[in-house]
Amino acid sequence: MPVRSKLIGFGGYLPDKIVTNADLSTRVDTSDEWIRTRTGIAQRHIAGPDDSAASMGEAAARAALEYAGVDAETVDAIIVATATPDQPFPAVATRIQGALGLKQGFAFDISAACSGFIYALAVADSLIQTKQARRVLVIGSEVYSRILDWSDRTTCVLFGDGAGAVLLDIAEPESESVILSTHLHSDGAHADILYVEREGKDGPSLRMNGREVFRHAVTKLAEVVDEALHAHGMTGKDVQWLVPHQANLRIIDGVAKKLALPQERVIVTVDRHANTSAASIPLALNEAVRDGRVKKGEIVLLEALGGGLTWGAALLRL
Ligand code: COA
C-alpha cells in the first residue's frame, strides 16, 4: 500500500518590530507610494537582537505542534528552509531539534532561497512516502534584514523577517487530506540575477536585477502551476485557494489571473509581511487556516520562485 503524507499542523512567528514604508523613506530615497504601487508592500517585520533563524523557527514549530495537538517527541525529522542560517553550520534545523529537546530522528537545512519551503515540503513528502519518517516538521525561517544592503533602495524595501512551519504526518489510505504532488525546477544559468555578495561593504549583501527576476517569475510560475494542475487532470477551476510565495502583488495577481481565480481566493500577506522568502508560504497558510478561510478538504495550490533560479509548486487537499 503506497504511503502518502498530509498537513496536520500550522504555525508562524513574526518579530515585534514593524517598519513601515514611511520609516524606510527616512533612510533611503523612496516613498510609500512607489513601494505600494510597484510591490503591494506597506510594512515588514524586522528581527530584534534576540531573534534568530533558530529562535523564530522554533517558535513557529511549537505553534504547529500545538495546532496539531501532538508532542514534539513524536517528530522524526525537521527540515528548515533558509537562505539566512545563523551560522554556516550547525544547521538551523539541528538547533531547533536541540531546543525542542528531541533526541530521536534527524534534522537538516535546505537552501533554495524563496522556493525553499516548496523544496523542503517535497523532500518531507518523499521521506514519508519512502517510510524514512512518519512525522516531519517543515519550517521556513528567514532573517533577510541581516543580508540586506540598507543603502540600496532597489532591494531593502522588498524583504522582511519571520518564520512559518507545517507539520506533516502519514495520510491513512482513507484520508481525505493528502499532498497530491510537488514539482521542482531550477536553472543555474540565471544564478547571477538574484544572489548574495559575500563581502558587501557591511557584510553579506543581497543583489538583484529586479526586472529580470520579474520577467522569469511571470513565465516560470505560470508554467509550473500548469504542470501541477495537468498532473491531476485539473484546471484553475478546481483550485479553491492559491497560497503563493509573497514577493510582489503584481506577480501574485498575474498567477491568479492565469488560473481565473478571484482575488478573494488568493491568500495575500505581502502587504504586511513583505517578502519573507522561505517563510512566506507557511506564514500565509498558517494565517489562512487559523482565520478559517482555508478549510480541511479544500484544494490548495502553492507556488514560489527564488534565487538560483529555483521554482516549484505543490498541490494538496488540505
Ligand atoms: N523607491 C523609489 N524609486 C526606486 C526604488 C525605490 N525603492 N527602487 C528603484 N527605484 C527607481 C529606479 O532607480 C528606477 O529609476 P530610474 O528610472 O530613474 O532609473 C525606477 O525606480 C524604475 O526602476 P525599475 O527597477 O525599472 O522598477 P520596476 O518597475 O521594475 O520595479 C521591482 C522594481 C523590484 C519592484 C520589480 O522589478 C520587481 O518586483 N521585481 C521582482 C523582484 C522580486 O520579486 N524579487 C524576489 C523574488 S523571490
Out of 216, 248, 273, 275, pick the active-site residue.
Answer: 275
Sequence-distant contacts of 271-274: CB under 8 A, at least 24 apart: 271/40, 271/41, 271/42, 271/43, 272/42, 272/43, 273/14, 273/44, 273/45, 273/160, 273/162, 273/246, 274/39, 274/41, 274/43, 274/44, 274/157, 274/158, 274/159, 274/160, 274/246
Ranges of residues in the chain whose predicted pLDDT is under 50: none
Judge if 73 and 125 occupy the same domain. yes
Q: Which atom of ligand 1 is nearest to the CA of 250?
A: 39
Judge if 194 and 63 occupy the same domain. no
- Domain containing 123: what range? 4-171
Q: Has 275 been annotated as catalytic?
A: yes
Within its chain, how far is the Cα of 100 from the centroid? 22
Judge if 63 and 209 occupy the same domain. no
CATH code assigned at 30: 3.40.47.10
**Domain edge (last residue) among 153, 171, 189:** 171
Q: Which atom of ligand 1 is nearest to the CA of 307?
A: 48
Closest Cα to atom 31 of ligand 1: 38
Judge if 155 and 276 occupy the same domain. no
Judge if 247 and 192 occupy the same domain. yes
Judge if 85 and 137 occupy the same domain. yes
- Residue 167 confidence (pLDDT): 98
Judge if 40 and 150 occupy the same domain. yes
- Residue 2 confidence (pLDDT): 82
Q: Is the CB of 34 under 6 A from ligand 1?
A: yes
Judge if 25 and 138 occupy the same domain. yes
Judge if 61 and 157 occupy the same domain. yes
- Residue 203 confidence (pLDDT): 86
- Residue 179 confidence (pLDDT): 98
- Residue 1 confidence (pLDDT): 72
